[in-house]
Structure 1
């Protein structure tokens, strides 16, 4: 069972409110009509979907399946991170407010970035209503 309060006590956790704040900052960038920026954002979302799907299924894989799929899970995570970094870099080049990346933290903190992928999908799902 997940205990969100226990999760929040971990040094590399991300509160829902923090994810919403980062998401809203990113979404402000998307007011820019640059077509390539929007294409990169779609790649961020697509890679978050692939990674989060693997991460959710991880809960149901056997030990053997986890062993078989561990490298693939890492590849999916790396792809999400690369896409998000590319989106950030283009935002900088377009002179947009990219301060959200500082809030997300260093890419060395892979767990936070992975958590954000899940939050991102949650928030996109709510936005789609």
Structure 2
């Protein structure tokens, strides 16, 4: 059975504490009352929840079902990554500090303008953090 210990042994995994710290860094540096931030965060969270739903059920699909859904899963994962890149651009536009969370999430030094191709090698890590955000969102709805 795969569990958290198994996950933590995987390449580029993030501990729960690291994911919590990433989320805190985002909210500590942003103005969470800013309408643009709220819109971008809503888009990010929405794509994270959609991606998590697909990813969580992936192992339940047959090979043919996975093949049929693969493009949708990849496109949804790309949406998640694009939304993180949009969030980073918003931080730069607003003058908010993004270096700490982007370096931790993307495993790269700060860049003037990062693109999907720049972070493609870290897709799993970014997807993992999106899954964490969806998990926390679900727990917060109690």
User: Fold match, TM over 0.5?
Assistant: yes
Which one is further off, 54-63 or 28-37? 28-37
Superposition deviation, residue 33 in structure 1: 2.9
Q: Which residue does the alignment assign to 1:86?
A: 86
Which residues of structure 2 form unaligned runs of 5+? 108-118
Distance, in Å, in 2 between the alignment partners of 1:30 and 1:61 is: 39
Instruction: Compare relative contact order (CA 8 Å, sep 6+) and give the higher one, 1 or 2.
Output: 1
The answer to whether the 8 A contact 2:105-2:125 is kept is yes
The answer to whether the 8 A contact 2:30-2:91 is kept is no
| 3-state SS in 2 of match to 1:109 | helix
Q: Which residue does the alignment assign to 1:39?
A: 39
Q: Residues 7, 32 of structure 1: CA spacing in aligned structure 2 closer, same or farther, 3 A cutoff?
A: closer
Q: Which residue does the alignment assign to 1:51?
A: 51
The answer to whether structure 1 residue 109 and structure 2 residue 86 are counterparts is no
Q: Which residue does the alignment assign to 1:19?
A: 19
In the alignment of these two chains, the number of paired residues is 129
The answer to whether structure 1 residue 97 and structure 2 residue 97 are counterparts is yes
| 3-state SS in 1 of match to 2:60 | coil
User: When the two structures are superposed, what TM-score results if normalisation uses the length of structure 2?
Assistant: 0.83
The answer to whether the 8 A contact 1:30-1:38 is kept is no
Which residues of structure 1 form unaligned runs of 5+? none
User: When the two structures are superposed, what TM-score results if normalisation uses the length of structure 1?
Assistant: 0.91
The answer to whether the 8 A contact 2:31-2:37 is kept is no
Distance, in Å, in 2 between the alignment partners of 1:41 and 1:114 is: 15
1:18-61 Cα offsets, whole Å, 9 max, x none, are 10110111122443432111100000000001111111110211
Distance, in Å, in 2 between the alignment partners of 1:126 and 1:15 is: 18
Once superposed, what is the RMSD of the aligned Cα atoms? 1.5
| 3-state SS in 2 of match to 1:59 | helix
